[in-house]
Structure 1
Amino acid sequence: MATFQIKEKMFSLGGKFTITDQTGLPCYHVEGSLFPLPKTFKVFDEEGHLISQIEKKVLSFLPKFNVTLANGNHFTIKKDFSFLKPHYTIEDLDMEVKGNFWDMDFQLLKDNQVIANISQQWFRMTSTYQVEVYNETYNDLTISLVIAIDYVKELEKNASN
């Protein structure tokens, strides 16, 4: 099992931050593009190897992100039209997300087995997430998923202000 803490920097130009393990050692580095069109995030491991790229689709009525992992796998996160609580769909993941997606308290399951638990730590100045991955082969995918979901939430928050 691997445990990570994702804590974004409050005043980071473009969205640069480090993801640490349970001991506080850096594991991943995230670099967001400076300009919003198209907004992209690149996730690197500690050795500097690209593990994923997250890109916001520009010409889309509702937010939509394509996530491409270094191993060639990809999935899409898109917001569905809803009048009440926000609803999102994750396409091409071959996994299930259970729990409260909007409040960032959910599980990632594959074949009814829990792969990861993701929970937001509240009462912090910046977005902070605790991520527990039970099968380490899914570390990169889970980290990339959380970063994409957090950015979708940030867009929603900014749009409502």
Structure 2
Amino acid sequence: MIELFMKQKMFSFKDAFHIYDRDEQETFKVEGRFFSLGDSLQMTDSSGKTLVSIEQKLMSLLPRYEISIGGKTVCEVTKKVTFSKPKFVISGLNWEIDGDLWRDEFQLTDGENVRMSVSKKWLSWGDSYHLQIAYEEDVLICTAIAIVLDMVLYNDEDESIF
């Protein structure tokens, strides 16, 4: 089980997250680009090498994000139309989100196995999450999905009920 802590950087002109391990060592940094049309973020390692790209697809009625690792698209995360609790589709992986997104307690599953559990840390400065990822090979994609969900659920510019 890999434990990571994701903290959104406060007072930034662009989306920014820092990802730490349980020893409080920064393992990844995620930053958005200035002056981009839609959200466009890069996840880098401690040396600055880009590992993951997250791009918002603007030609969509609802929020839709493409996640690429090593230049190859791995999945798309799309918000579904609902009138109660938020729902998302993760195409390309056949994974599902279970739990309560409004209370920030949810899991990513592949139908049989829990791939990641996410819980929001309350009483912290800025959005802060505890990620428990079951498999080492899922660290990048699971972290990227958690970032997309945070951006869609808590983007101040999105006043939509969907």
Give me the TM-score of the superposition, normalised by structure 2: 0.88
Deviation string 1:85-104 (CA, Å, 9 cap, x unpaired) is 22221111222322123433
Residue 60 of structure 2 corresponds to which residue in structure 1? Answer: 60
Deviation string 1:63-118 (CA, Å, 9 cap, x unpaired) is 11111122724211111112222222111122232212343311222351222211
Deviation at 1:7, TM superposition (A): 0.6
Aligned length, in residue pairs: 160
Aligned counterparts of 2:143 and 2:88: Cα–Cα separation in 1: 18
* Aligned 8 A contact 1:6 1:20 in 2: yes
Shift of the 95–88 alpha-carbon distance from structure 1 to 2, 3 Å rule, reads closer
Could you tell me which runs of 5 or more consecutive residues in structure 2 were left unpaired when the two chains were aligned: none
Identity within the alignment, % = 26
Residue 159 of structure 2 corresponds to which residue in structure 1? Answer: 160
Deviation at 1:32, TM superposition (A): 0.7
Spell out the pairing of 1:21-60 with structure 2 (5 A cutoff).
Answer: 21-60=21-60
Shift of the 2–61 alpha-carbon distance from structure 1 to 2, 3 Å rule, reads same
Give me the TM-score of the superposition, normalised by structure 1: 0.88
Spell out the pairing of 1:75-90 with structure 2 (5 A cutoff).
Answer: 75-90=75-90
Aligned counterparts of 2:87 and 2:22: Cα–Cα separation in 1: 31
* Aligned 8 A contact 2:89 2:96 in 1: no
* Aligned 8 A contact 1:14 1:35 in 2: no
Aligned counterparts of 1:72 and 1:36: Cα–Cα separation in 2: 21
Shift of the 106–42 alpha-carbon distance from structure 1 to 2, 3 Å rule, reads same
